[in-house]
């Protein structure tokens, strides 16, 4: 348990300093709110809609598909690191993995999930 003392000490110091700096900012920092500062900022353009508006399901589909394929591609890195150790079996397994990935990609492409209408 004694080996954890430096970790707990560092966490405690970090929390303490965070609270101290936030408190000092509230006490010493300038506070001059006005309607211009408190308005929503959208890349320099006045806001057009309410932030609570609904988004198209296409937006979510593209986001989920991006995350899905992005995570699948992460599996290529450990394979590339151990390429020689895996041999022919590892090569064939990764080819099969990539073929399945491309089949899924072409399926969603043909279904129109990547189209912005």
User: Could you read off the pLDDT of 42-83 as tens digits, one per residue?
Assistant: 666 776 777 677 777 888 888 888 888 888 888 888 888 988
- Give the residue from 93, 108, 110 showing the smallest Cα distance to 61: 108
For residue 28, what pLDDT band results from cuts at 50, 70 and 90? very high
In a domain, 77, yes or no: yes
Supply the pLDDT for residue 27: 92
Supply the pLDDT for residue 26: 92
In a domain, 94, yes or no: yes
In a domain, 117, yes or no: no
| Tokens representing residue 117 in the block | 């209408």
In a domain, 116, yes or no: no
Does 37 score more than 80 pLDDT? no
In a domain, 81, yes or no: yes
In a domain, 16, yes or no: yes
Q: Is the pLDDT higher at 25 or at 52?
A: 25
- Count of domains observed in the chain: 1
- Give the residue from 52, 59, 56, 93 showing the smallest Cα distance to 76: 93
Supply the pLDDT for residue 42: 63
In a domain, 71, yes or no: yes
Supply the pLDDT for residue 59: 81
Tell me, what CATH number does 72's domain have?
1.20.58.1610
In a domain, 82, yes or no: yes
Read off the pLDDT of each residue in 87-112 and give the average, rounded to a whole number.
91
Domain containing 19: what range? 2-111
Cα–Cα distance for residue pair 82/37, rounded to 1 Å: 54
Supply the pLDDT for residue 99: 93
Strand partners, 42: 45
């Amino acid at each position: 348990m004694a080996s954890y003392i430096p970790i707990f000490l560092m966490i405690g110091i970090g929390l303490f300093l965070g609270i101290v700096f936030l408190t000092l900012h509230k006490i010493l920092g300038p506070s001059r709110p006005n309607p211009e500062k408190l308005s929503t900022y959208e890349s320099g353009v006045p806001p057009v809609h309410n932030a609570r508006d609904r988004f198209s399901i296409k937006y979510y589909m593209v986001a989920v598909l991006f995350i899905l394929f992005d995570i699948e591609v992460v599996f290529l890195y450990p394979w590339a690191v151990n390429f020689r150790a895996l041999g022919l079996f590892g090569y064939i397994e990764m080819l099969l993995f990539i073929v399945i990935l491309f089949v899924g990609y072409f399926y969603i492409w043909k279904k129109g999930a990547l189209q912005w209408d």
